[in-house]
Structures are given as structure tokens and as C-alpha cells.
Amino acid sequence: MIALDLLRFKPFLKSKRENGKQLIFCPIRKKFLVLQPEELVRQLLLVYLMEEKKYPKSKIAVEKSLKINELEHRFDILVYDKNNQPFLLVECKAPEINIEKSFSWMNVLADSTIAKKEIKINRNPFEQAAQYNFQLQVPYLLITNGISTFLSKMDYENQSSEFLTEIPSAE
């Protein structure tokens, strides 16, 4: 698990109240969105990636569509490297979602041919991120609920992965 204090980035967030709803600004999508717990985690992590890890806005995609088994899905955050290759896939969850208890996705990654057929849409956060990653094949896979954060470095050649304790900085 990575020790990550996302709340220290709260002063960087822009918010406003409109029509009785609290809104938060997304610097990547360049618009205000309804503030939900998962959206707060996503925005705090975006600030962390840009301010702390120095990823430029131009290398970050947020909530884009991805087709898997003929179904449309949306990943939370995808960071590209300096060569515009997918580098870091992020799945954000609301703080009340317990991501620590769901590690069975590691076994699913070991046999990608089975996993591509058997992964269902409503699995745990790790399996959801792994499902998106079969299409993208990123080197790093990160899952956070703002309280707990896990990062895995993928080794596709050996069909394995390892948990890391720090998020890589922009190259």
C-alpha cells in the first residue's frame, strides 16, 4: 500500500455552488462537475499527479471510453508517457469502498485468455482495472479510494506483477 495524503491537495481544487449543487472543477475536462465522493478522489489524485509527480495535463485523459468485449466502459484516469504510450491506468473509488480486501485480481491477470472471457462488469475494483488494462497493457496499474492506494507494476512477458510503494514521476 502507498502512503498518500491526498487531502493536502484540497486547496488546489476549485469548487462552486450552483442550483443547490456543489460542483468541482476538472482541469483536464475543463468543466465543473457535480461533487460526488468518487469525483473528489479523482480530482485530488489529478492534482497530486500534476503537482507532485509533474505529469503535464496534456498527458492525462479522464473518463474516456474503452470498448471491451463489444461493451463500452470508461476508465477513470489514463496517463501517457513522453512517447504518448499508455503508462499509468488509474481506477478511483469512493472512500467508503473497501479496496484492501479484494486482491483476487492477481490470479486473473496470470491467464489473460481466460480473464478476457470471464471478467464481468461488476467485479471488485482490482478486477475492474485489470479488465480495462487487458486492452491498454499499461506498465502501471493504480487503484485508490483516497484512503488506501495500491500500485502494481505489470510484467506481461512473465505474466506477473509486483506491488510498489511509490508512484513513478513523469519521465
pLDDT along the chain (171 residues), means of 10: 92 96 97 97 98 96 77 84 92 86 46 37 53 74 91 83 89 66
CA angle (33, 146, 51) in 5-degree steps: 75
Q: How many domains does the chain have?
A: 1
Predicted pLDDT at 54 = 96
Q: What is the CATH number of the domain that holds 106?
A: 3.90.1570.30
- The rounded distance, in Å, linking the Cα atoms of 6 and 43 is 10
User: To 10 degrees, the CA torsion angle through 117, 140, 136, 74?
Assistant: 80
Predicted pLDDT at 64 = 83
Are the CB atoms for 121 and 69 separated by under 8 Å?
no
Contacts of 149 (CB under 8 A, 6+ apart): 1, 2, 4, 142, 143
Name the residue with cell 506491488. Answer: 163
Q: Is residue 26 part of a domain?
A: yes
Q: Is residue 137 part of a domain?
A: yes
Predicted pLDDT at 1 = 85
Contacts of 154 (CB under 8 A, 6+ apart): 109, 133, 137, 138, 139, 140, 141, 161
Q: Which domain holds residue 118?
A: 6-164
User: To 10 degrees, the CA torsion angle through 4, 9, 10, 11?
Assistant: 160
Q: Is residue 170 part of a domain?
A: no
Mapped onto helix, strand or coil, the DSSP state of residue 7 is: helix
Q: Is residue 1 part of a domain?
A: no
Q: Is residue 32 part of a domain?
A: yes
Predicted pLDDT at 105 = 44
Are the CB atoms for 152 and 162 separated by under 8 Å?
yes
pTM summary value: 0.81
